[in-house]
C-alpha cells in the first residue's frame, strides 16, 4: 500500500491515546483502518480529541508560525536578510520553491492533520454531553474553517486573481479518513468552494461558541477570522461588520504599549494579552514559538537566521513611532515580537480588527460608518498606542498602518495580493508566489493537479 499523508491517515495514534484500552499484540488493527466507533465512545473521549486538534493546529508547521514566516519570505524585498542554511527557506526567500520543498510539504501535511482531527470530533459530536455540544462543535469548526482558509491562500491563487470559481484551491474533506480507499483520493476544489467552506464553518462556529472560553476559541475568534477572510475576498461590508463584532464585544483591549502585545524577553509562557482574540498557547511543555525559531536571535532561543534590515527599520518607521523600538540589537537586528521561544503565538489581535474596519469604511464610504466609528477614529486608536497622531484616514494611510502594525506577522504576502501590489519586480499574481502542491501528494493521489509554473 502506498504511503500517503494527504488526510493524516495515521491519526489513530493521537485519537486512540487514552481512549482505547490495551489490546493483545495480535489484536491491534492496522493504523490505516481505524474504527472510529471504537476510538470515540464518550463525551470525554471527544473532548480529549478536541484538545488534540488544538495541538495539531499549534504545530510549528501550521499556526505555530512557520507558514506565516514563509509568507513573509515570499513577500520580502528588503526587510529580511536571510542567513540560514535551510535550503527550503532559501528557496522561499528567493521565490523559487521546489515542489519537493520539505517545509511546504509539512504545511500541507499538518494542515490536513488538523482538518482530519476536527472531522473526527465533528463526526462524533452526538457523543458529547448536550451542555457542551455546541461549544465542542464550534471549536472544531473554527479550527477546520481557519485551516482551510490558510491552506487555500497559500496553495491556490488569490481570490481576486482571475476566476475563483474555476481556479483550483485545495481538496475539501469533511468526513474522517479512516482507511485508504479510492474514495480517499479527492480532487482539488475551486478557490471559491474552499472559501465558501471556510465561511460556512466559521459562521457556524461563531453562532455556537461562547463569548468567553478560556484560552480556546470564542465566538469572537471566529468573527475575527471571518473579518480576515472577507477582507481577502474584497467583501468589505461583511469584513467590517465582522471586525465590529469583535471590537464591540468589549472582551479585548489594546495593551498599554505596542511591545506588550507580544510575549517578549522574559515574559511568562502560556499567557495571553488583553489584545489576543485568538492565540496559540505555547509553554515549556508544549513545543515552542515557530516564529522564534528563525526570527529570534541565539541569545533568545532562536537560530538568528532572519535578520531585520536596519535600513528598512530606519526608512519605514517615523522616529516618534514607538514601534521602531520593537527591535533589538544582538549583533544584528531582530524583531522583538518573537524573542521568547515559549511565548504564545498571537494569531488574531484586536489592532488588526480596528484596521480592517477602518479600511472597509474608507473603501465603502457608507452614509453611516460600520460600527458607528469613522475610519479616522479607528486608525487613531492604533496610532495613538504607538505615540502618533493622525490627520487623515486615506486608503494609502490605512494600508501603510497595516504594514507598520502587523510587520513580520505573516500579512505582507496576502496584503500584496489582495491590493494587487507587485513584490519588487515580481507581479502580485505570479505563479512563484503560490506554494506548489507537494510532489509526494501528487505521487500518492492521481486526482491532484499541480499548480502552474511547477513541473
Q: Which residues, listed in sequence order, are joined to residue 335 by a DSSP beta bridge?
A: 327
Higher pLDDT residue, 219 or 340? 219
Q: Determine the Cα–Cα distance for residues 423 and 294; give it in Å rounded to an integer.
A: 22
CA distances from 9 to 114, 117, 319, 340 (A): 12, 10, 53, 34
Nearest to 347, CA basis, from 196, 253, 267, 228: 228
Domains in the chain: boundaries = 12-426
N- to C-terminal Cα distance for the chain? Answer: 26
- Segment 258-269 shows an average pLDDT of 81
The confidence score (pLDDT) of residue 30 equals 38
Is 115 buried (19+), middle (13-18) or exposed (0-12) by CB count in 10 A?
buried
pLDDT, mean over the chain: 90
Q: Determine the Cα–Cα distance for residues 317 and 334; give it in Å rounded to an integer.
A: 15
Q: Which residue has the cell 496559540?
A: 280
Could you tell me the three cell numbers for 368? 453611516
pLDDT digit string, tens, across residues 244-257: 999 999 999 999 99
- Segment 257-272 shows an average pLDDT of 82
**β-pairing, 80-82 with 306-308?**
antiparallel
Higher pLDDT residue, 197 or 19? 197
Grade residue 230 by pLDDT with cuts at 50, 70 and 90: very high
Taking phi over 0 as left and psi of -120 to 50 as alpha, with beta for the rest, 445 belongs to beta
Angle formed at CA 74 by CA 73 and CA 78, multiple of 5 degrees: 60
Q: Determine the Cα–Cα distance for residues 198 and 180; give it in Å rounded to an integer.
A: 25
Residue 384 has pLDDT above 80, yes or no: yes
DSSP state of 322: G
Cβ 218 vs Cβ 209: under 8 Å = yes
Higher pLDDT residue, 323 or 179? 323
The confidence score (pLDDT) of residue 224 equals 98
pLDDT digit string, tens, across residues 199-209: 999 999 999 99
Read off φ and ψ for residue 213, nearest 5 degrees: -155, 40
CATH number for the segment(s) 12-426: 1.25.40.390
In order, the DSSP letters of 238-274 are HHHHHHHHHHHT-S----SSSGGGS--TTPPTT---T
Taking phi over 0 as left and psi of -120 to 50 as alpha, with beta for the rest, 100 belongs to alpha
pLDDT digit string, tens, across residues 6-40: 443 333 333 323 333 333 333 333 333 345 556 79
Amino acid at each position: 500500500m502506498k504511503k500517503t499523508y494527504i488526510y493524516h491517515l495515521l491519526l489513530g495514534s493521537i485519537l486512540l491515546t487514552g481512549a482505547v484500552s490495551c489490546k493483545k499484540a495480535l489484536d491491534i488493527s492496522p493504523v490505516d483502518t481505524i474504527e472510529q466507533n471504537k476510538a470515540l465512545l464518550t463525551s470525554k473521549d471527544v473532548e480529549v480529541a478536541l484538545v488534540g486538534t488544538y495541538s495539531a493546529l499549534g504545530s510549528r508547521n501550521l499556526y505555530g508560525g512557520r507558514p506565516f514566516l514563509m509568507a513573509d519570505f515570499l513577500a520580502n524585498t528588503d526587510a529580511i536578510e536571510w542567513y540560514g542554511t535551510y535550503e527550503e527557506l532559501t528557496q522561499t526567500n528567493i521565490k523559487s520553491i521546489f515542489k519537493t520543498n520539505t517545509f511546504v510539504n509539512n504545511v500541507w501535511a499538518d494542515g490536513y492533520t488538523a482538518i482530519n482531527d476536527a472531522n473526527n470530533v465533528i463526526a462524533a459530536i452526538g457523543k458529547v454531553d448536550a451542555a457542551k455540544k455546541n461549544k465542542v462543535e464550534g471549536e472544531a469548526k473554527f479550527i477546520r474553517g481557519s485551516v482551510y482558509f490558510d491552506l487555500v491562500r497559500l496553495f491556490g491563487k488569490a481570490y481576486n486573481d482571475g476566476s475563483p470559481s474555476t481556479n483550483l484551491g485545495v481538496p475539501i474533506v469533511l468526513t474522517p479518513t479512516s482507511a485508504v480507499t479510492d474514495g480517499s483520493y479527492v480532487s482539488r476544489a475551486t478557490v471559491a468552494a474552499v472559501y465558501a467552506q471556510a465561511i460556512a464553518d466559521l459562521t457556524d462556529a461563531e453562532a455556537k461558541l461562547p463569548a468567553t472560553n478560556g484560552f480556546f476559541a470564542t465566538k469572537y475568534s471566529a468573527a475575527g477570522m471571518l473579518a480576515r477572510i472577507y477582507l481577502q475576498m474584497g467583501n468589505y461590508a461583511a469584513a467590517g461588520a465582522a471586525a465590529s463584532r469583535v471590537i464591540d464585544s468589549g472582551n479585548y483591549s489594546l495593551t498599554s504599549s505596542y511591545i506588550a502585545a507580544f510575549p517578549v524577553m522574559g515574559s511568562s509562557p502560556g499567557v495571553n494579552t488583553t489584545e489576543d482574540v485568538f492565540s496559540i498557547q505555547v509553554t515549556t511543555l508544549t513545543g515552542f514559538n515557530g516564529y522564534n525559531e528563525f526570527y529570534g536571535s541565539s541569545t533568545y532561543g532562536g537560530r538568528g537566521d532572519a535578520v531585520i534590515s536596519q535600513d528598512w527599520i530606519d526608512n519605514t518607521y517615523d522616529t516618534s513611532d514607538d514601534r521602531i523600538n520593537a527591535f533589538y540589537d544582538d549583533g544584528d537586528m531582530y524583531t522583538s515580537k518573537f524573542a521568547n521561544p515559549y511565548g504564545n503565538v498571537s494569531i488574531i489581535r484586536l489592532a488588526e480588527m480596528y484596521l480592517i474596519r477602518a479600511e472597509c469604511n474608507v473603501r465603502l464610504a457608507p452614509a453611516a460608518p460600520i460600527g458607528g466609528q469613522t475610519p479616522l477614529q479607528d486608525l487613531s486608536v492604533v496610532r495613538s498606542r504607538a505615540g502618533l497622531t493622525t490627520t487623515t484616514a486615506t486608503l494609502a494611510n490605512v494600508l501603510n498602518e497595516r504594514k507598520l502594525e502587523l510587520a513580520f506577522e505573516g500579512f505582507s504576502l496576502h496584503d500584496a495580493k489582495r491590493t494587487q501590489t507587485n513584490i519588487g519586480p515580481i507581479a502580485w499574481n505570479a505563479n512563484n508566489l503560490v506554494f506548489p502542491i507537494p510532489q509526494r501528494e501528487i505521487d500518492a493521489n492521481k486526482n491532484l493537479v499541480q499548480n502552474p509554473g511547477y513541473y
